[in-house]
């Protein structure tokens, strides 16, 4: 028997966008929410490939009757998720003032880079820009090099999509007490700054007093960095505590009484070179044999091709295979009573247009007329091939 998921019964209307919005919607869908993605006519689908478990409805929002269709959906939805800059939804007559008046219980989630106030709220940007404005980018990078962004993960997905999903769940919980919806202003700049709170709170502890890339946790320490192996692969080392560092030293075939003190920062560059020379003499597999099962905090840097086959990940079922045999991470965290049961595939654009409209009380006659007038599109036949 299929178990109920945590967000079962929650209806979400997601306006199609890039990366952060689709990820937020996918989190909600993975944990049981009914997510309707509103696509544009002629759209080729979610270029972010983060639409697992959603249904697709194609509506032309440039035409008033298309806007009316979406307003009908939002009048019965629990959540609307929109990914646009300030003013776009208001121009479409889909702003929170209108939708919350029609549905006072609606959670109106606004996910944007710079937020819906402030001088940058109407300008374009991407993950690296939000990361830069949050202050976090200034801390990322090697010594003597320019700051660099770790892919587009931190702002788009950590400070953006994930933080917005958290806001939605909190607002849904609050609604159980007040019976009222509210507006969520999820800015990727603010979200990224918030998840960096540890950096701010430890500014005066000595952790970050050296230049970028020369501190304990940013690649400066020889016991908290990565090393190349004999086969061109890499090992990650995180032996911070003295007892773990001792196990690292032992595994490397060294003697601690013949080495400088672990926390002697002036010796770190020399120690890093020593460690690098030793790691370069064995393959990744050989180092795994030495360190697996120990508390030395040394692990292989797994590639995407390797990660799903690693014993630990296989034992936990950490990765799943979709209907097209693509591998991706299983939804997290694991809930003991109501775990996520992810769908096997993404929807085709417009696959569920008629189905969704009927559920929301639109008659077949209205649907036919909207289709004839090209207000909506349906690609049901494509989905059945």
Active site residues: 126, 156
> Scanning the structure block, which residue is given the tokens 């109407």?
122
Task: Give the C-alpha separation, 157 to 127, whole Å.
Answer: 9
Residue 368: CB partners within 8 Å, gap ≥ 6? none
Does residue 302 have a cis bond before it (omega within 30 degrees)? no
79 and 12 in contact (C-beta within 8 Å)? yes
HSE on the CB side for 244, CA within 13 Å?
13
Residue corresponding to tokens 């991407």: 126
Whether residue 145 contacts residue 214, with contact meaning beta carbons closer than 8 Å, is answered with no
Both tokens of 142, joined, read 């090697």
Strands (DSSP E) contained in the chain are 11-15, 34-39, 55-59, 79-82, 107-112, 183-187, 224-228, 234-238, 298-300, 319-321, 327-329, 376-377
d(Cα 52, Cα 168) in Å, to the nearest integer?
19
Nearest to 107, CA basis, from 46, 23, 168: 168
- DSSP type of residue 116: S
Q: Count other Cβ atoms within 10 Å, centred on residue 70.
A: 22
Question: Helix, strand, coil % (nearest 5) of the chain?
Answer: 40, 15, 50
- For 363, other C-beta atoms within 10 Å of its C-beta total 10
**Within 13 A of 47's CA, how many CA atoms are on the CB side?**
5
What are the φ/ψ torsions at residue 206 (nearest 5 degrees)? 95, -5
Residue 248, both tokens: 């690292």
- Strand-pair partners of 59: 376
What secondary structure letter does DSSP report for 257? G
């Amino acid at each position: 028997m299929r178990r109920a998921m945590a967000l079962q019964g929650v209806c979400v209307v997601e306006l199609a966008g890039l990366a952060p919005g689709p990820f937020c919607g996918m989190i909600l869908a993975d944990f049981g929410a009914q997510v309707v993605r509103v696509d544009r006519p002629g759209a080729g689908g979610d270029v972010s490939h983060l639409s697992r478990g959603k249904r697709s409805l194609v509506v032309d929002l440039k035409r008033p009757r298309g806007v009316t269709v979406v307003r009908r959906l939002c009048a019965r939805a629990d959540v609307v998720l929109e990914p646009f800059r300030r003013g776009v939804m208001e121009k479409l007559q889909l702003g929170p003032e209108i939708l919350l008046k029609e549905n006072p219980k609606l959670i109106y989630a606004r996910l944007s880079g710079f937020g819906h106030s402030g001088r940058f709220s109407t300008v374009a940007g991407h993950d690296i820009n939000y990361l830069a404005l949050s202050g976090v980018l200034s801390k990322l990078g090697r010594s003597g090099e320019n700051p660099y962004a770790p892919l587009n993960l931190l702002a788009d997905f950590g400070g953006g999509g994930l933080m917005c999903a958290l806001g939605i769940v909190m607002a849904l919980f609050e609604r159980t007490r007040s019976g009222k919806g509210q507006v969520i202003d999820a800015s990727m700049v603010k979200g990224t700054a918030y998840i960096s709170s540890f950096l701010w709170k430890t500014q005066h502890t000595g952790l970050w007093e050296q230049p970028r890339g020369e501190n304990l946790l940013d690649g400066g320490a020889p016991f908290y960095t990565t090393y190349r192996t004999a086969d061109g692969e890499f090992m990650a080392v995180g032996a911070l505590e003295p007892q773990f560092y001792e196990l690292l030293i032992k595994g490397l075939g060294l003697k601690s009484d013949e080495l400088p003190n672990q926390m002697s920062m002036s010796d770190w560059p020399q120690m890093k070179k020593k460690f690098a020379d030793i790691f370069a003499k064995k393959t990744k597999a050989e180092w795994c044999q030495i360190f697996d099962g120990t508390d030395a905090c040394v692990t292989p840097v797994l590639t995407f091709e390797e990660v799903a086959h690693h014993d630990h990940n296989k034992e936990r079922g950490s990765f799943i295979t979709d209907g097209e045999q693509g591998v991706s991470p299983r939804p997290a965290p694991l809930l003991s009573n109501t775990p996520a049961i992810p769908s096997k595939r993404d929807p085709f654009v417009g696959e569920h247009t008629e189905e969704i409209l009927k559920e929301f009380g639109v008659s077949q006659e209205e649907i036919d007329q909207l289709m004839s007038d090209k207000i909506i599109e349906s690609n049901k036949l494509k989905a059945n091939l």
